[in-house]
Chains A and B, each alone.
Chain A
Amino acid sequence: FALPLPSEDNNRLLAEKYLRRFYDLPAALQGKSSGTFETKIKAMQRFFNLKVSGNLDDNTLEVMKLARCGVPDIGE
């Protein structure tokens, strides 16, 4: 059985899925480069007036879990 992912990885997966859908994070492979991931995290933190750290902190994760509209926050 696939071992349950530690919450760290779960959070990272949740964040990547969120950023891909709402902040145009490139699909899987390229998105792994931390530079792109961090840039997109900052864009989301800026949009929600959070502390722009580029880190996946609790406040950022909390906002990612809120019920919301499925339309992207930036771009086409």
Chain B
Amino acid sequence: YNHFPRHLKWQNNNVTFRIVNYTPDLKKSDVNRAIRTALNVWSDVTPLTFKKLHEGNADIMISFGAKEHGDYNPFDGPNGLLAHAYPPGPGIGGDTHFDEDEHWSKDSSAYNLFIVAAHELGHALGMSHSTDPGALMYPVYSYATGFPLSEDDIEGIQALYGPNPNHRKVKPKPDAPNKCDPMLSFDAVTELRGETIIFKDRFYWRLHPQMPEPEQTLIKSTWPSIPNKVDAAYENSEKDVVIIFSGIRMWALNGYDLVDGYPKYIHKLGLPKKVRKIDAAVHIRDTGKTLLFTDEDYWSYDEATSTMDSGYPRTIEEDFPGMDDEVDAAAYHYGHLYFFHDHIQYEYSYTSRKVIRILRTNSILNC
């Protein structure tokens, strides 16, 4: 986390705020609720209290404006800059401005006002931007549900104001997964146009042959329409498409764009309704088959005919001897299958039908 220079903060823990105007995108009551809930996030973990004024000057003046809106710090139209706020202090200090050219929502359909307000009010209380992609104070917008403060955010604000005297217990948002955690497991792995994409929690790592360090990013920052939790993924490079599985739905990505008509139900592939989740998926380019792993079984899907092969499901143990009986994620490179289960990675020779190497899962992340 970071503070502003000189660790600017409110000297009085009882801070006032006023909502000067409202966006037409939402009902007034929704805006009031979003702002109040956003303030509660910070008062939950500090001694701060927030009193609403309906006229006159408050410490934190909240308003919606477009382009040049009176502070010589113009907004830029839709997307790009969403909002900004000023560090604690007199006059414009603490003031919080939202770009009216954005579309504001109370869900994930557009920019979620509560999430942006919680971030901006963090600035109005003295927090600057965090480099932790899992922190609320990270500068890039990403939609998430649940309590928005991570451990990093809580440590930062309590360094300024101390903890909540009533010791309210809050469950911080989980931090970004650590790639060198020896017990690291993966949710899903896929190729994407020559890169390897590894999904874990709300994040993904991107491995590029020329990039020494894997780059960690929030899933929602790149693909706002797919869920924060990916179960399985595979690339069909012949069709230049990546299929992402989450629960009983699947999404198709062409590069970074969502293919029209998705999401679809996984049962469209020919899976029985009792299958509620796919644990891992991998496309075997040499055979044109896609293997779908669910619990101890797996299925073979023929991409050319878009049908499930007969004689399935078969058990993983039976056809992939030496492997675990379940799979978290799977990838295929040059005749070798890579199975990931918990913190172990199995390199499996598809031709000689046996495990040829066992590694730690995160060895693929240069750990």
Residues of A within 8 A of B (CB): 22, 47-51, 59, 63, 66-71, 73, 75-76
Contact = CB atoms under 8 A, between A and B. Distances in A.
Given A48-B131, A69-B83, A75-B5, 6 more contacts: A51-B213, A69-B141, A70-B83, A71-B84, A71-B120, A71-B139
A66 B221 contact: yes
A51 B75 contact: no
Nearest to A22: B139
B129 interface: yes
Nearest to B221: A66
Nearest to B211: A51
B215 A50 contact: yes
A70 B73 contact: yes
A74 to B, nearest CB: 8
User: Chain B interface residue count: which class?
Assistant: 20 to 34
Interface in B191-232: 211-213, 215-216, 221
Contacts of A63: 140
7 contacts: A50-B215, A51-B211, A66-B141, A66-B221, A68-B141, A70-B82, A71-B120
A49 B79 contact: no
A-B interface, 9 closest residue pairs, ranked by CB to CB distance from nearest = A70-B84, A70-B81, A67-B141, A66-B140, A68-B139, A68-B140, A73-B129, A69-B139, A67-B79
Contacts, number: 63
Interface of B: 4-5, 73, 75, 79-85, 99, 111, 116, 119-120, 123, 128-129, 131, 133, 139-141, 211-213, 215-216, 221
Contacts of B133: 49
B5 A68 contact: no
Contacts of A22: 139
Nearest to A51: B211
B350 to A, nearest CB: 32
Given A49-B215, A67-B140, A76 B5 contact: yes
A14 to B, nearest CB: 10
A68 B82 contact: yes
B256 to A, nearest CB: 9
A21 B242 CA distance: 36
B98 to A, nearest CB: 10
Given A47-B131, A63-B140, A75-B5, A69 B215 contact: no
Q: Which of A22, A47, A48, A67 has the most chain B CB within a 10 Å cutoff?
A: A67
A67 B139 contact: no
B5 A69 contact: no
A47 to B, nearest CB: 6
B31 to A, nearest CB: 19
Nearest to B123: A71
Contacts of A68: 80-82, 139-141
Contacts of B215: 49-51, 59
Contacts of B82: 67-70
A5 B215 CA distance: 31
A18 B288 CA distance: 45
